[in-house]
Amino acid sequence: MSKIITHPGSAHKDDFMAVSVLLATLGDAVVYRREPTRADLDDPATWVVDVGMEYTHERHNFDHHQDKSLPCAFHLVMQHLGHHEAAMQMFVWYPQMSMMDVRGPYKTAEHLGIDASVIFASSSPIDGYILSHFSQRKELRSGDLIYQFMKALGRDLLQLIQRKMKRLERLKQEARVVPVKHYKAIVCEIEDEPKLAMELYLRHLGNERAVLSITPSVRGPGWELLRLDDHAAVDFLRIANEPDIRFVHANGFLAKTNEGVSLKQAIRLAAKSITN
C-alpha cells in the first residue's frame, strides 16, 4: 500500500487538493501529516507532498518551497499525473490557486488588478471548516470520513476534466450561433447538463457579439435564457410580461420559458430582451 506524506500543522488548499487527486489515483493509501524522513524521500512508494524541500518527481517528491520558480505542489502532482494542461484550460480557478499559494494574496491581487481585501472577503467558510478538520488529523485511512471525502473530491475533479473536454468537442459540433438583433445568441439543445463547458466554448468562439445563451432549462421544462458576461445590452426584465415567459430573475440576467415554447419563439423572445 502506498503512503502519502504532507506537512503537519495548518492545512492549505494546495496540500489538500494534491492529496485528494493522489487518493483518487492511487486507490487505497495511508495519509500521514508529518515531516518526511530521508527514507521517505528515497522511497518511490511514498509520495511526499508540499513538504521535504525536494522536487524529484521520479521518486514522487513534490515540494516547491525550496525553489521560487516552481508552482504549488498541487500543480506539480497534476503535471506528473498528466492532467495539468487540461486543468489549466478547464478551470479558471486553477492557475490562480498556485499563485495564491506561492506568491500570496497581495501579489495575486496585484496580478488580477484588484484590491487584496476582495480576496479576503471572498474566502469561503466551507473551505475553512474542511481544512481545519484535515489540519487536526495526524493520520488518515480509508475508513475515515475526511479520507472518503477527499478521495471522492479528487475522483470527481479528474472526471470533470474529461467530461468538459468531451463536451467542448460536442459543442463545437452541435452548438449554433444565431442572430438576435445586432448581437448573437449561442443555442445549444443538449439536455444533459446543458451549460457544461459553455464558458470554454465561448472562449473558443471568441465572438464578442455573443451576449446570451439559449439552452434547455435544468429547473423544469422550457428554455433558459442567460445573459453572458453580464452584457449591458441584455435585460430579460424587458420580456417579463410576455405570455411565454414563466420566470425572470429580479436582476434581469436570467429568464425561463413555459413548457412547449418552440426554439424559434425562444429566439424571438431573446431578441426582445436586447436594448436598441
Q: What is the CATH number of the domain that holds 191?
A: 3.10.310
Q: How many domains does the chain have?
A: 2
Enumerate residues 6+ apart whose C-beta is below 8 A from 39.
none
| End position of a domain, from candidates 119, 137, 164 | 164
pLDDT at residue number 16: 98
Alpha carbon distance, N-terminus to C-terminus of the chain:
65
pLDDT at residue number 164: 97
List the one residue out of 219, 225, 220, 217 whose CA is nearest residue 242: 225
Q: Cell digits for 96? A: 490562480
Residue 52 domain-assigned (yes or no): yes
Neighbours of 66 (CB within 10 A): 10
On whether the CB atoms of residues 35 and 7 are closer than 8 A, the answer is yes
pTM over cut 0.85: yes
Helices (H) and strands (E) in the chain, counts: 10, 12
Question: Three-state SS for 245?
Answer: strand
Question: Are 71 and 192 found together in one domain?
Answer: no
Residue-level pLDDT, tens digit, the chain, 276 residues: 799 999 999 999 999 999 999 999 998 899 999 999 999 999 999 999 999 999 999 999 999 999 999 999 999 999 999 999 999 999 999 999 999 999 999 999 998 899 999 888 988 999 999 999 999 999 999 999 999 999 999 999 999 999 999 999 999 999 999 999 999 999 999 999 999 999 999 999 998 899 999 999 998 899 999 999 999 999 999 999 999 999 999 999 999 999 999 999 999 999 999 987
Question: Are 160 and 184 found together in one domain?
Answer: no
**DSSP 8-state secondary structure symbol assigned to residue 62:** E
Neighbours of 174 (CB within 10 A): 12
Question: Are 180 and 130 found together in one domain?
Answer: no
Question: By residue range, what is the domain housing residue 220?
Answer: 175-272
pLDDT at residue number 261: 96
- Secondary structure of 82-101 as H, E, C letters: CCHHHHHHHCCHHHHHHHHH
Question: Three-state SS for 178?
Answer: strand
pLDDT at residue number 123: 87
Q: Cell digits for 230? A: 453580464
Question: Are 152 and 211 found together in one domain?
Answer: no
pLDDT at residue number 1: 78
Could you tell me if residue 21 is left (phi over 0), alpha (psi between -120 and 50 degrees) or otherwise beta?
Answer: alpha
Question: Are 20 and 139 found together in one domain?
Answer: yes
On whether the CB atoms of residues 106 and 114 are closer than 8 A, the answer is no
pLDDT at residue number 12: 95
pLDDT at residue number 99: 93
Residue 169 domain-assigned (yes or no): no
β-pairing, 245-248 with 254-257? antiparallel
Question: Three-state SS for 231?
Answer: coil
Residue 64 domain-assigned (yes or no): yes
